[in-house]
Chain A
Amino acid sequence: MKFGVVIFPGSNCDHDTYHVISKVIGQPVDFIWHKETDVDRFDAIILPGGFSYGDYLRSGAIARFSPVMKSVVEFANDGGFVLGICNGFQILCESGLLPGALLRNRDLKFICEHVNVRVEQTNTIFTAAYQPGQVLSLPIAHGEGNYFCDEATLAELETEGRVMFRYSAADGQITDEANPNGSLRNIAGICNRQRNVLGLMPHPERAAESMLGCKDGRAMFLSMADALVQLLKARA
């Protein structure tokens, strides 16, 4: 099995994500250059955080036209697993793999801090290792993380159980105070209808080692690796 981490010009968290997969959970992983178009050899692709194309025009607006994104969209439509973290989530929304958009933070400032995030659904390969309602401590670092979508989309996301994470208080309560950026319904992450594409603003790759103070993010990668191992066994 192989994980792939895409590098766009301006991606910053590519190495962090690579490190978690190769060193922390010990799985094979390669970088994917933004000009590559053949992604067949991968089982899961991660769009990492950072400032692809300097956030020119809008975060993720230009990255979505990279040659590699055409292939990532096909990969996802064929059932391949795609995880978008922070800028990666923004790129997934710009490319239409996920609905909605990430607007400027309510308080108009970049925010870097640990927040509490409640796991809403565990029926995806990304969240299977968590408990429903479990509260995670994850770091955020963004200026444009304010999730927005229209009423119809919001209704769809809720009824189809596609809101995956919400910003919450330490006890799991969904409050305004716990919402760092003004996201609609405290939404921190969502998935697509097929449940094979997940986007989230918090950085699980920064919360995968106890040395860094918190490891609630590790389970997301482990969960992906476990699911892929099962899948490949089943195909073999």
Chain B
Amino acid sequence: MQITSEILAQHNITPDEYERIKQLMGREPNFTELGIFSVMWSEHCSYKSSKVHLRRLPVTGDCLVQGPGENAGIVDIGDGWCAAFKIESHNHPSFIEPYQGAATGIGGILRDIFTMGARPVAAMDSLRFGPIRDEESDESKEQTSAKSIARNRRIMAGVVKGLGDYGNAFGVPTVGGEVYFDPCYSLNPLVNAFALGLVRREQIFYGKAEGVSNSVIYAGAKTGRDGIHGATMASAEFDEAAMEKRPTVQVGDPFSEKLLLEACLEAMRSGAIVGIQDMGAAGLTSSSCEMGARAGNGVEINLDLVPQRETGMTAYEMMLSESQERMLIVAARGHERQVLEIFHRWDLDAVIIGKVIAEQRLRVTHKGEIVADIPNLALTDEAPKYNRPMKEFAVASEDVSPKIAAAISNLKSQISNLKSEADVTTELLRRLLASPNIASKQWVYRQYDHMVRTNTVVLPGSDAAVIRVKETRRSMAMSLDCNSRYVQLNPREGAKLAVAESARNVVCSGARPLAVTNCLNFASPERPEVMWSFSETIDGMAEACRVFSTPVTGGNVSFYNETEGRGIFPTPTIGMLGVIEDAKHITTQWFKAEGDLVLLLGATHNDLGASELLSVLTGEAAGAVPKLDLAEEKKVQEACLKAIQAGLVSSAHDCAEGGLAVALAESCFSSYGRTAIGAKIDLTEHARLSGLTDSTALLFAESPSRIVLSVKSENVDQVKEIAAETGAIVAVIGEVAGNNLAITLSGDTLANDSVADLERFWNGALPKSLERPLPTSEG
């Protein structure tokens, strides 16, 4: 078949890239080979636009066993146990087919974990959608039209069901995550799936095709035509013809995956396997050439032997198929039969399809002919690396307090019964709690089995999820975080804030932050401003990760999240892993008992820029982002952790979106085993220490580096001592008491609300938007 410029364009290969292919091959590629290059050189598989920047991330540390480059990162967590963990995106498929896009997203990340020899024990997801509330409907913009809102709800419902159905059937608990809403995600929802597994250090497996002449075995589901060019689809923007891309969405079967998991772990323990990799993006192609490249060998496969579930599949189709639940395995010499028997016992296909060869090539035969013969490195290490043009833009610097003051003034004139300061605070607090970014996510996590495997010690709803490691006294805390509004307005600072928040969240659960995985979701890298924001994000992440000593163990980059010229906010989702040495230190965010005193670590500043308050009042994402002093942040985290480890803390909750008022309300809300409880708070001392008098800022500013603690009265002095030693600011701000959240400042009542009442607003928000008949479209 003649390779025309149209065919190149269809394959997303530039003329320059084609020249490079011919150079590396020493000849023109055939159609099948072109297909192979198109997926391996796609942005999704090759990281061609991001590699030059990713190398600035810190990837070393004492705990590190496996850094970026393998299927998942691995860290040592003590007692001979290791944690394999990673986060990956499945954004584009989830827009086209929400249910399957999300299901195969979690399916893919689970395979990345168990291919390393680790049994998955926990999953989380970070989701972003367009607005779902009728109140946010604005026909002047496509992203907020009634039609868009209806679609966002449908996408969200499909995504959550897809993640739930797959994870639940597979048998991994989904224990945490985050959900955010913004118009920029209307046509580009984000689905980032995280998984974590446990493995004994000596039982880790790698994706290496070692041992020339060892057999290469295909195991798992049969290959079909689903998902062809899934990788290429994920490497381009959407246009009107997006729905035609439906066949590129893969279809998942969690039951197959569960069988595959058990068979793989059994085969690994048997000693019959030398190397293994799952077939993810670019299926058979990526697994074979990557395994060859890592071992400095090559792989030869015969497609006649590949189990097929459709007739008449071409070599091109088989090499590019992204059919799910398949693994590529290199067997130890003489142990081939053993491997096949194990998979057959679990009723899975397993067949020898090739062998490891000494030449560093990927060689594919079909119907007696060589249909592809490519140097491995051309597909992997020698794929293009672009240092794309970058264009700096001015980071937001506006002080939005006047805007907010004006909006509040407006509110007072619009709503007649807002007479006192307290009335205004109540109204603002209710609106913040009912804002989907802050509201209870129970509607989502109720659909996930978050208890299976009986390891979940802290259920969804607290700052971090905590999973016990049954064989030890240890537990692992994990959290996914990114406020993309901050990153949009100031990429470097926004990225630092995301890492800081993630570390703070695991610290609040009693864990020492250990390591990071990350999913970098951006718009088109061909736009210089986007590329600059990517570079700045990397530098911000790197700086923060160094301060917290949390190396980056791996992750994922998703570019081209834009449609018809409109892109998403830069969204670097940070997945933080922490370890709690002794289970008795596990801490949650909820106040525990009347009489406990409430303390606030850290200081509040006039950080109303980019706040949820501004968004709720004016719909804007604007203003200077909250200032982060990494040294101060570290002191606050140290103080909190030391106090927890000394057994002095009853609850710990960090301040995030919505500021202190929201953090206090959340600490008061009901939790398993306790109904709503109140608190009497006086911010006078804290305001003095912070040098801040503005009550709006005190209540709703999103200053980082602040943690709300509740402590038994007899422990307060010791906690204050620990704070002093660590150099962290601390103030006693009140006590747990009654049924109301009452907040005063220098004698003035700022708020006095029934907690049960506030909780109703917080609980009811998502169901209100998602459990009603969709509005009929008018055209």
Residue of A nearest to B468 (CB): A211
Residues in A neighbouring B451, C-beta threshold 8 A? 112, 139, 141, 203, 206, 212
Cross-interface CB contact of B454 among A10, A56, A205, cutoff 8 Å: A205
Whether the Cβ atoms of B456 and A54 lie closer than 8 Å is no
How far is A110 from B452 in the complex, measured between Cα atoms in Å?
14
Residue of A nearest to B455 (CB): A212
Residues in B neighbouring A214, C-beta threshold 8 A? 672-673
Whether the Cβ atoms of A109 and B468 lie closer than 8 Å is no
Q: Which residues of A from 41 to 96 have beta carbons under 8 Å from B?
A: 49-51, 53-56
Residues in B neighbouring A50, C-beta threshold 8 A? 171
Whether the Cβ atoms of A10 and B169 lie closer than 8 Å is yes
Pick from B250-258, B268-276, B695-703 the stretch touching chain A: B250-258
Q: Is B164 an interface residue (CB 8 A)?
A: yes
Most interface-central of A53, A55, A141 (chain B CB within 10 A): A141
Residue of A nearest to B348 (CB): A9
Q: Is B342 an interface residue (CB 8 A)?
A: no
Q: A10-B255, A13-B452, A16-B452 are in contact. Are A109 and B457 (CB under 8 A)?
A: no
Residues in A neighbouring B448, C-beta threshold 8 A? 110, 112
Whether the Cβ atoms of A212 and B446 lie closer than 8 Å is no
How far is A212 from B450 in the complex, measured between Cα atoms in Å?
12
How far is A190 from B165 in the complex, measured between Cα atoms in Å?
27
Q: Which residues of A from 106 to 164 have beta carbons under 8 Å from B?
A: 109-114, 139, 141, 143
Q: Is B12 an interface residue (CB 8 A)?
A: no
Cross-interface CB contact of A141 among B161, B168, B254, cutoff 8 Å: B168
Q: Is A15 an interface residue (CB 8 A)?
A: yes
How far is A144 from B129 in the complex, measured between Cα atoms in Å?
28
Residue of B nearest to A55 (CB): B169
* Distance of B661 from chain A, by nearest CB (Å): 28
Residues in B neighbouring A56, C-beta threshold 8 A? 255
Residues in B neighbouring A211, C-beta threshold 8 A? 457, 468, 583
Residues in B neighbouring A109, C-beta threshold 8 A? 161, 446-447
Cross-interface CB contact of A112 among B446, B470, B672, cutoff 8 Å: B446
Residue of B nearest to A20 (CB): B454
Whether the Cβ atoms of A51 and B447 lie closer than 8 Å is no
Q: A110-B165, A112-B448, A141-B168 are in contact. Are A9 and B255 (CB under 8 A)?
A: yes
Whether the Cβ atoms of A111 and B446 lie closer than 8 Å is yes
Chain B, residues 432-452, CB within 8 Å of chain A (1/0): the string is 000000000000011111111
Residues in A neighbouring B470, C-beta threshold 8 A? 19
Residues in B neighbouring A9, C-beta threshold 8 A? 255, 258-259, 346-347
Residues in B neighbouring A196, C-beta threshold 8 A? none
Residues in B neighbouring A111, C-beta threshold 8 A? 446-447
Q: Which residues of B from 443 to 478 have beta carbons under 8 Å from A?
A: 445-454, 456-457, 459, 468, 470
How far is A109 from B446 in the complex, measured between Cα atoms in Å?
9
Cross-interface CB contact of A54 among B161, B253, B454, B468, cutoff 8 Å: B253
Whether the Cβ atoms of B452 and A212 lie closer than 8 Å is no
Chain A, residues 1-33, CB within 8 Å of chain B (1/0): the string is 000000001101101100110000000000000
Q: A53-B255, A54-B255, A211-B583 are in contact. Are A112 and B447 (CB under 8 A)?
A: yes
Residues in A neighbouring B258, C-beta threshold 8 A? 9-10, 12, 51, 54
Residues in A neighbouring B347, C-beta threshold 8 A? 9
Residues in B neighbouring A53, C-beta threshold 8 A? 255
Whether the Cβ atoms of B447 and A212 lie closer than 8 Å is no
Residues in A neighbouring B457, C-beta threshold 8 A? 211-213
Whether the Cβ atoms of B452 and A54 lie closer than 8 Å is no
Residue of A nearest to B475 (CB): A211
Q: A9-B347, A205-B454, A211-B457 are in contact. Are A51 and B254 (CB under 8 A)?
A: yes
Residues in A neighbouring B445, C-beta threshold 8 A? 112
How far is A139 from B256 in the complex, measured between Cα atoms in Å?
27
Whether the Cβ atoms of B452 and A12 lie closer than 8 Å is yes
How far is A102 from B256 in the complex, measured between Cα atoms in Å?
24
Whether the Cβ atoms of A112 and B449 lie closer than 8 Å is yes
* Distance of B718 from chain A, by nearest CB (Å): 26
Chain B, residues 153-193, CB within 8 Å of chain A (1/0): the string is 00000000100110011110000000000000000000000
Interface of A is mostly: mixed
Whether the Cβ atoms of A110 and B164 lie closer than 8 Å is yes
Chain B, residues 53-82, CB within 8 Å of chain A (1/0): the string is 000000000000000000000000000000
Whether the Cβ atoms of A206 and B454 lie closer than 8 Å is yes
Residues in B neighbouring A16, C-beta threshold 8 A? 452-454
* Distance of B775 from chain A, by nearest CB (Å): 21
Most interface-central of A111, A114, A212 (chain B CB within 10 A): A212
Cross-interface CB contact of B453 among A15, A110, A209, cutoff 8 Å: A15
How far is A48 from B347 in the complex, measured between Cα atoms in Å?
21
Residues in B neighbouring A143, C-beta threshold 8 A? 168
Residues in A neighbouring B259, C-beta threshold 8 A? 9-10
* Distance of B11 from chain A, by nearest CB (Å): 36
Most interface-central of B165, B171, B457, B468 (chain A CB within 10 A): B171
Whether the Cβ atoms of B449 and A110 lie closer than 8 Å is yes
Q: Which residues of B from 321 to 366 have beta carbons under 8 Å from A?
A: 346-347
How far is A195 from B37 in the complex, measured between Cα atoms in Å?
65
* Distance of A87 from chain B, by nearest CB (Å): 11
Chain B, residues 241-261, CB within 8 Å of chain A (1/0): the string is 000000000000111101100
Residues in B neighbouring A19, C-beta threshold 8 A? 454, 470
Residues in B neighbouring A112, C-beta threshold 8 A? 445-451
How far is A1 from B253 in the complex, measured between Cα atoms in Å?
39
Residue of A nearest to B160 (CB): A109
Most interface-central of A110, A209, A214 (chain B CB within 10 A): A110
Q: Which residues of B from 203 to 259 have beta carbons under 8 Å from A?
A: 253-256, 258-259
Whether the Cβ atoms of A141 and B255 lie closer than 8 Å is no
Chain A, residues 197-214, CB within 8 Å of chain B (1/0): the string is 000000101100101111
Residues in B neighbouring A206, C-beta threshold 8 A? 451, 454
How far is A209 from B253 in the complex, measured between Cα atoms in Å?
33
Whether the Cβ atoms of A12 and B672 lie closer than 8 Å is no
Whether the Cβ atoms of B453 and A54 lie closer than 8 Å is no
How far is A206 from B114 in the complex, measured between Cα atoms in Å?
24
* Distance of B763 from chain A, by nearest CB (Å): 13
Residue of A nearest to B172 (CB): A12
* Distance of A139 from chain B, by nearest CB (Å): 5
How far is A149 from B270 in the complex, measured between Cα atoms in Å?
47
Q: A10-B258, A12-B452, A212-B457 are in contact. Are A51 and B169 (CB under 8 A)?
A: yes
* Distance of B259 from chain A, by nearest CB (Å): 6
* Distance of B266 from chain A, by nearest CB (Å): 12
Cross-interface CB contact of A51 among B168, B468, B673, cutoff 8 Å: B168
How far is A208 from B447 in the complex, measured between Cα atoms in Å?
23
How far is A109 from B170 in the complex, measured between Cα atoms in Å?
17
Whether the Cβ atoms of A54 and B254 lie closer than 8 Å is yes
* Distance of B156 from chain A, by nearest CB (Å): 13
Residue of B nearest to A180 (CB): B446
Residues in B neighbouring A54, C-beta threshold 8 A? 169, 253-256, 258
How far is A213 from B460 in the complex, measured between Cα atoms in Å?
13
Residues in A neighbouring B453, C-beta threshold 8 A? 12, 15-16
Q: Which residues of B from 559 to 580 have beta carbons under 8 Å from A?
A: none
Q: List 17 A-B contacts (CB under 8 A).
A: A9-B347, A12-B258, A12-B452, A12-B453, A54-B258, A109-B161, A109-B447, A110-B164, A110-B165, A111-B446, A112-B445, A112-B448, A113-B446, A141-B449, A203-B451, A211-B583, A212-B451
For the complex with contacts A10-B259, A20-B454, A139-B451, 15 further pairs of A-B residues with Cβ separation under 8 Å are A12-B258, A13-B171, A16-B452, A51-B168, A51-B171, A54-B255, A54-B256, A109-B161, A110-B164, A110-B168, A110-B448, A112-B448, A143-B168, A211-B457, A211-B583
Q: Which 9 A-B pairs have the closest CB atoms?
A: A54-B255, A12-B171, A51-B169, A141-B449, A16-B454, A112-B449, A110-B447, A206-B451, A10-B255
What residues of chain B have their CB less than 8 Å away from a CB belonging to chain A? 161, 164-165, 168-171, 253-256, 258-259, 346-347, 445-454, 456-457, 459, 468, 470, 583, 672-673
